[in-house]
Amino acid sequence: MTDAAPPSAFRLSMPARVLLALVLGAAVGLSLSAWDADIATSAADIAQPVGRLWLNALQMTVVPLVAALVIVGINSAADAAASGRSARMAMAVFAILLAVCGAFAAVAAPAFLALLPRDEAQVALFRAAIQAPEVLPQAPDFGLWITSVIPSNAIAAAAASAMLPLVVFSMFFGFALTRLEPERRQRMLELVRAIGDTMLVIVRWVLWAAPLGVFALVLAVCAHVGLGVLTALGYYIALQCTLYVGITLLMYGVAVVVAREGLRRFASALLPVQAIAASTQSSLASLPVMVDSARQRLGYPLAVTSLVLPMAVSLFRIASPTQYLSVVIFIAWMYGVELGPAQLTIAVGLSIVISMGSVGLPGQVSFMTNNLPVTQAMGLPVEPLGVLLAVDTIPDVFATVANTSGQVTATAVVARRSGATDLPDPGSTS
């Protein structure tokens, strides 16, 4: 007689539970919509407040959490850069690659969505189903906007959830903190980290109820919109997966042009890294394979790989700006709003700052805490984020592959630019 399996063996992971809630909510909502429109509307009216309550609970943590992440992230980056020339070069490479991938998403996402049909009636139903505002507030003129970037009152900016001024103040605070003597700086960082960690505990509590919140949100949307919502979510998934594949391919180009790697040799070294990344959906779990590929297959010096790869896993995810830009551009597309070059440039810059401060957070935690401020900064409604969170598990595989590819590429660039002596000849394919 065999022992019974422990209860934990039957527990689903959080992403699996959220995805199951998405499927069940869609099935119930679509069934009610097909059976009786009045009953479907009544069910949606009951479900909407539950979903909204869950989304509000997530939003309440965003202001202190984002401020803490930016301050800690700036100080972590400063500490890393202070450890030597290679570390400073790595930080510069990280920032440039994040900007390149963010700019790629800012151009490619609108071009991709322009090819897709957009049904105004279904978009209106979608907005009603998630209780998003029908009309967005008019953007202020450029003069008023530019003067609001630096807040006259940081507390008022936080109270108004004005994310861009709040992030600007947090950056000033973080950089100023690096100028204090080490003991006082450390005491302040401990306080800021404690605030951020406390907010993360609350976020995890709220995410524990994510299946219920997602079920309610998706049920309400499907009951109102019908099968059209599945088409819209399909567009979103296709957009993200396409962008992640695009930036992964872009990394091959960076390795060939900037690091002067042979394409076949570099692709062969990346293959085992990408396989582990796709199966685990974790850059940290892929780190041993990245080190092995960088050392044994690509021949990078131990001094470079032992420094740059752990830094990259801790501070650098090229998929983050791509995700934030694709989310805000998709929501803008749903509303028929065209984001101008200035807005997209701000979104790219904000994405870089937030992504470098939030690496290491669980995927669903980072999705809400990082996309909320970027979406709010663009003047877009945050209500669609709860539904988009539910399907984030699917493109996350492609995002992890892109992140690990970028981390190895950044190492290749640093190894070549640092003048390492045991690298192969430029352009070698052996």
Contacts with 169 (C-beta within 8 Å, 6 or more apart), sequence order: 67, 150, 151, 154, 157
Q: Where are the domains of the chain?
A: 29-417
pTM score of the predicted model:
0.79
pLDDT in tens, 391-416: 777 788 899 899 999 999 999 999 88
Give the residue-averaged pLDDT of 156-162. Answer: 73
The rounded distance, in Å, linking the Cα atoms of 242 and 256 is 22
Distance CA 32, CA 30 (A): 5
What does CATH list as the number for 29-417?
1.10.3860
**pLDDT tier, 365 (very low <50, low <70, confident <90, very high otherwise):** low
**Whole-number percent of the chain with pLDDT over 90:** 16
Q: Which pLDDT belongs to residue 427?
A: 47
Comparing 154 with 134, the larger pLDDT belongs to 154
Q: Is the pLDDT of residue 129 over 90?
A: no
What is the Cβ-side half-sphere exposure of residue 385, based on CA atoms within 13 angstroms?
27
Compute the average pLDDT of residues 207-218. 82
Tell me the two tokens of residue 246.
Answer: 């695009």
Q: Alpha-carbon distance 276 to 285, whole Å? A: 8
Q: Residue 194 has what pLDDT?
A: 92
Q: Which segment, 282-291, 354-363, 413-422, is predicted with the most confidence on average?
A: 282-291
Q: Per-residue pLDDT tens for 183-200?
A: 898 999 999 989 888 888
The rounded distance, in Å, linking the Cα atoms of 212 and 207 is 9
CB neighbours of residue 381 within 10 Å: 18
Percentage above 70 pLDDT, the chain: 82
Quick one: pLDDT at residue 423?
Answer: 52
Distance CA(4)–CA(85), nearest Å, equals 56
User: How confident is residue 138, by pLDDT bands cut at 50, 70 and 90?
Assistant: low
Secondary structure letter of residue 261 according to DSSP: -
Residue 418 pLDDT exceeds 50: yes
Output the pLDDT for position 5.
43
Q: Mean of the pLDDT values across residues 377-386?
A: 80
Question: Quick one: average pLDDT of 314-337?
Answer: 87
Q: Give the per-residue pLDDT at 6.
A: 46
- What is the token pair recorded at 288? 């041993």
